[in-house]
Copies of this chain bind each other. A is one copy, B any other.
Amino acid sequence: MAEQKLQTKNRSPGRPPRTDSFGKASDLRDSILDHAELAFAEAGFEGANLREIASLAGVNQALIRYYFGSKADLFDECFRRRGGVLAGHRHVNLDRLLEISENPSVEDLVFAYLKPQWDMKYSSPNGAAFVAMQARLHAEPEEHALRLRREVYDASVKRYISALSQVLPQVPKDIISVRMAFLVGAYLFMLNDLGRISDLTEGHLTSFGKDEMLDQLVRFLAAGLRAPV
Contact = CB atoms under 8 A, between A and B. Distances in A.
26 contacts: A42-B141, A45-B47, A136-B136, A146-B196, A154-B199, A154-B200, A177-B197, A177-B205, A178-B201, A178-B216, A179-B220, A180-B200, A182-B217, A185-B186, A185-B187, A185-B189, A185-B193, A189-B189, A219-B227, A219-B228, A219-B229, A220-B224, A220-B227, A221-B224, A223-B224, A224-B227
Given A139-B139, A189-B188, A189-B189, A200 B174 contact: no
A76 B125 CA distance: 30
A175 interface: yes
A216 B185 CA distance: 14
Nearest to A190: B185
A222 B197 CA distance: 20
In the assembly, how many copies of this chain are there? 2
A208 interface: yes
A38 B158 CA distance: 33
A11 interface: no
A161 B200 CA distance: 9
Interface of A: 41-47, 132, 135-136, 138-141, 146, 150, 154, 157-158, 161, 173-175, 177-190, 192-193, 196-197, 199-202, 204-205, 207-208, 213, 216-217, 219-229
Contact of A141 (B132, B154, B161): B132
Contacts of A140: 44, 136
Contacts of A207: 174
A204 B173 contact: yes
Contact of A227 (B182, B185, B200, B222): B222
A202 B201 CA distance: 39
A98 B135 CA distance: 35
